[in-house]
Amino acid sequence: MKRLGDLELLVPAGNMEKLKVGLQYGADAFYMGMPSFSMRSRINNFDEKSIMEGVRLIRKSGKKFYVTINIYPRGNKVDAFKKHLKFLNDKMKPDGVILADPGVLEMVKEYAPKLPIHMSVQANVLNYRAVKFWQKQGATRIILPRELMLSEIKEIHEKCPDMELEFFVHGAICVAYSGRCLLSAYMTGRDANQGICAHNCRWNYKVREGHEYALEEEERPGEFYPIEEDSHGTYIMNSKDMCLLPYLKDLVDAGICSFKVEGRNKTEYYLATVTKAYRQAIDDMMSRKKFDKKLLAEVAKTGNRGFIPGFLFGFPGNKNVEFDKSAPQQTYKVVGILKGAVNSKKFAKSDDFYEVEIRNRLEKGWIVEIMTPDKQFEMKLLDMFDLQGEAVELVHGGAGNKILKLRKGLPENSILRIKC
């Protein structure tokens, strides 16, 4: 098994708030990017000023970060890429840049020669010969596609032992080949490979009258793909989510050094819960402790479509798809995120009152579970006020910040949640 210092929990940072949450809840490294260059361009809230603020925070914490420049740029973006690469090389100085396009790789060599090159899942590196090819081009890390099986990962590591291998361990799985989807561009004009996917695979699709409730691919006669339809439609491309919490040691033994969590457009609650669970799983593994199955229940408290181990042990088959609904399921929902101690004369002498950003309906007297980076506990909510200090009985999501009496010593970004 690799030493602890060789392993990395890599999580998404879509903005400064998520970056701070990831740092608090145990991430070792972050992947982040700016609009126009990133595969999550529509939800990325970083500009040059704020991303540099994030860089300073990461460096102060002794962590690493990688910048995503993994779109397939059209010709009219080449000049913008040149300018951006100079900014990365001279000012940001990330621990690596994540890319897929060979032309972008050549520009990195020319305009940002100091930066390590990581090949994105978008590059579809499925075999050791492809790894060797990119290694000759200067790549220092390969982010392997989700479509690879454990045995295939092991073979790549054995054939290329000096190449760093990164793998997604948690989050959504694209119905297309490592995200190389054309549905979005065809149906909505939003190109997935420019970072603006419309997620058409999550929409419902009606079965046309007169057709059997199954699909048959013309090159595979006699092999039927079942379609199950209810009053809302059918969801034939609605893949379940990946969760590899129980298999981290298998991945380490196969050669993976970086465990990657998907979700730059997910919430702070998702990021906190998943990061904390994987942090514990990694630490327990390195201490040779038995896997704690309770961690699976923890990640189930976030929105998910049901969990599978992806392709790790073979092609998933029909159980890979959530036929019944497209909406995510979860056992808990977030009702608030703690923003800090109250700065008010009325509560100045109390250190158990906090300003909380309300995310969902919350009533006085409810039992809430509070999650911090190092503990969890339940308590009954007895005192709730508006920012003027007036008592309130009920608040709704979007109502802004309220003042809640909780326990002493809670850190910023503690999560309040309730059972669904």
Tens digit of pLDDT per residue, the chain (420 long)?
444 347 999 999 989 999 999 999 999 999 999 877 876 555 557 888 999 999 999 999 999 999 999 988 999 999 999 999 999 999 999 999 999 999 999 999 999 999 999 999 989 999 999 999 999 999 999 999 998 999 999 999 999 999 999 999 999 887 766 666 666 765 677 777 666 777 777 776 655 444 456 555 455 566 555 666 667 666 666 778 999 999 999 999 999 999 999 988 889 999 999 999 999 999 999 999 999 999 999 999 999 888 989 889 887 665 665 656 666 789 999 999 999 988 777 786 678 999 999 999 999 999 999 999 999 999 999 999 999 999 999 999 989 999 999 999 999 999 999 999
- How many alpha carbons lie under 13 Å from residue 407 in its C-beta half-sphere? 17
Residue 220 DSSP label: S
The confidence score (pLDDT) of residue 190 equals: 77
Three-state secondary structure along 318-347?
A: HHHECCCCCCCECCEEEEEEEEEECCCHHH
* pLDDT for the residue 4: 38
What residues contact residue 208 under an 8 Å CB cut-off, 6+ apart?
Answer: none
Instruction: Give the H or E element holding residue 348.
Output: none
CATH class of the 332-419 domain in this structure: mainly beta
Closest to 23 (Cα-Cα) out of 1, 54, 68: 54
Q: Which residues pair with 333 in a beta bridge?
A: 418
Contacts of 152 (CB under 8 A, 6+ apart): 126, 127
**DSSP element (H, E) containing 273:** helix 268-286
What pLDDT, on a 0 to 100 scale, did the predictor assign at position 187? Answer: 66
Question: Residue 300's CB: how many other CB atoms inside 10 A?
Answer: 18
State how far the Cα of 254 lies from the Cα of 156, in Å rounded to an integer.
9
pLDDT of residue 5: 46
Question: 44 near 14, Cβ under 8 Å?
Answer: yes
SS3 355: strand
**Residue 371: predicted pLDDT:** 98
Question: Hey, which residues does 220 pair with through a beta bridge?
Answer: none
CA separation for the pair 353, 302 (Å, rounded): 26
H or E element: which one contains 374? none
CA dihedral 381, 385, 391, 397 (to 10 degrees): -80
What is the pLDDT at residue 256?
Answer: 97
Domain boundaries, the chain: 4-177+238-320, 332-419
Helix axes 48-60, 16-24, angle to 10 degrees: 10
d(CA 70, CA 405) in angstroms, rounded, equals 45
Q: Which of 404, 224, 235, 414 lies closest to 328, judged by CA?
A: 235
Residue 219 DSSP one-character state: T
Angle between helices 128-136 and 150-159 (to 10 degrees): 40
Give bridge partners of residue 144 from the DSSP assignment.
167
**CATH level 2 (architecture), domain 4-177+238-320:** Alpha-Beta Barrel (3.20)
CA distances from 177 to 127, 192, 205, 218, 305 (A): 15, 12, 20, 20, 19
Q: In whole angstroms, give the CA distance from residue 354 to residue 387.
A: 10
Look at residue 275 in the predicted model and tell me its pLDDT: 98
Region of 145 (left: φ > 0; alpha: ψ -120 to 50; beta: rest) is: beta
- Note whether 318 and 214 are within 8 A (CB): no
- Which is it for the CA torsion 92, 98, 101, 102, positive or negative? positive
Distance CA 23, CA 91 (A): 22
